[in-house]
Amino acid sequence: MDAILTKLIDQSPMAAALLILVIIFMRFISKERDRNERIETRAQESITNMGQECHAFQREMVAKADASHTKVSAALDRNTEAYARTSEVLDGVETLLRNKK
C-alpha cells in the first residue's frame, strides 16, 4: 500500500491529495456512524429503563390499591355487622316499649 501511495504521489500530487482527503472523509463518516449508533443505543437503554421504572411504580400502586381495597372492604363488613346488631337492639327496644303500653 505504501509503494502504491508513493508512486501515486510521484506521478500526480493532486490525485494523492484527493486520495488522502477521501480517506480522511471516510474515516470521519465511519466514526460519525459509530458515534450515532452509540447515542441511539444509549437512548434506547434510557427509554427501556424509564419504562421498567414506570411499570414497577404501577405495580406498586396496584398493590397499594389492592391493600386499601381489602381494608375498606373489611371496614364496610364490620360496619354492616354493627348496623345489623344495632338494628336488632333497636327493634328489641321498640318491641319492649310497645308491649309495655
User: Which domain does 67 fall in, by range?
Assistant: 2-100
What is residue 40's DSSP assignment? H
Q: What letter does residue 1 receive in the DSSP assignment?
A: -
**Grid coordinates given for 56:** 414497577
CA angle centred on 39, ends 38 and 43, rounded to 5°: 115
Q: Can you give the pTM of this predicted structure?
A: 0.51
pLDDT digit string, tens, across residues 11-44 = 887 877 888 899 999 999 999 999 999 999 999 9
Q: Quote the Cα angle for 28-32-38, to 5°.
A: 150
Helix (H) or strand (E) holding 9: helix 2-11
Q: What is the dihedral sign for C-alpha 92, 93, 98, 101?
A: positive
- Domains held by the chain: number: 1
Q: How confident is the model at residue 9 (pLDDT cuts 50, 70, 90)?
A: confident
**Confidence at residue 101, expressed as pLDDT on a 0 to 100 scale:** 65
pLDDT of 6 reads 79
